[in-house]
A = this chain, B = another copy of it.
Amino acid sequence: MSKPLILVTNDDGITAPGLRALVKFMKEIGDVVVVAPDSPQSGMGHAITIDNTLYSKKMNLDSEDGALAEYSCSGTPADCVKLALQELLDRKPDICVSGINHGSNSSINVIYSGTMSAAIEAGIEGVPAIGFSLCDYSWKADFEPAGKAIKKIVSEALIQGIPEGVVLNVNIPKLEEAAIKGVRICRQARANWKEKFDKRTSPMGRDYYWLTGEFELLDKGEDTDEWALANNYISIVPTQFDLTAHHVIQHINNWNLSS
């Protein structure tokens, strides 16, 4: 029986330690092809490159964790997945995994996440997909404790299949393996970022801003990803790209919109 073909991508760029760790874990499960951005693409949301050219380069990252083939791409995470599926891969992958992100993509962060946009793009194109994020923003984060759970989740997804129209958003707490209590299937917690713009003046006398902010949790539910992570569980949120708020269609149908 042939091994599953696994497409690995991310948003931190092809040299990110989180991606190298994911490649290593996935090599234990199947054949791995990497198509990832040539530079960091955090916060890119579901951006695609439509007014500019895309470059792709076959890499020879001759490390022990090396994949069958690796390509860097000048575009966004969503571009990488499109290019992989249409141009670079010989056949449709059995699964696409994105990450491991250096930092959380829980709750509202999913909206801004390049990691998740890559997974969502794969899902839109009919490829089962999972985004993985470790709640540790450090470039030197330790991804080893997450390995066992990540392999288990991917293996189970390959056996069970992921329902159509759904991709998985997996967040892993920053803990030793023994301290992780297990896995919870969750809903996305309600939250937002309370922005604070740091206003400065350039050496040329021009004002500019840095976008900063504080995460604000607005949800006390014990069925959310934030609750799971705060209580030492891995969170899995099944995430969809049908954004329709079906429950309010009837409500808005009562508006007076006839002219």
Determine, out of A15-23, A29-37, A62-70, A183-191, the stretch whose residues face the partner at the interface: A183-191
Contact A125 B253, beta carbon cutoff 8 Å? no
What is the minimal beta-carbon distance from A42 to any residue of chain B, in angstroms? 6
A44 CB within 8 Å of chain B: yes
Type the 1/0 row for A49-80, where 1 means its CB is closer than 8 Å to any CB of B. 11101111000000000000000000100110
On whether A242 and B188 interact (CB within 8 A), knowing A83-B197, A156-B256, the answer reads yes
A89 CB within 8 Å of chain B: no
Type the 1/0 row for A183-215, where 1 means its CB is closer than 8 Å to any CB of B. 101111010100111010000001111110000
List B contacts of A239 (CB < 8 A). 243-245
Number of A residues, CB within 8 Å of B: 82
Partner of A42, one of B51, B148, B153: B51
Contact B48 A211, beta carbon cutoff 8 Å? yes
What is the minimal beta-carbon distance from A179 to any residue of chain B, in angstroms? 13
On whether A54 and B211 interact (CB within 8 A), knowing A47-B43, A156-B255, A185-B253, the answer reads yes
Residues of A at the B interface (CB closer than 8 Å) are 40, 42-51, 53-56, 75, 78-79, 82-83, 85-87, 108, 110-112, 117, 120, 124-125, 148-149, 152-153, 156-157, 160, 163, 165-166, 168-169, 182-183, 185-188, 190, 192, 195-197, 199, 206-211, 236-246, 248-249, 251-253, 255-259
Contact sample, A vs B, 5 pairs, CB 8 Å cutoff: A54-B209, A54-B211, A86-B196, A87-B199, A190-B242
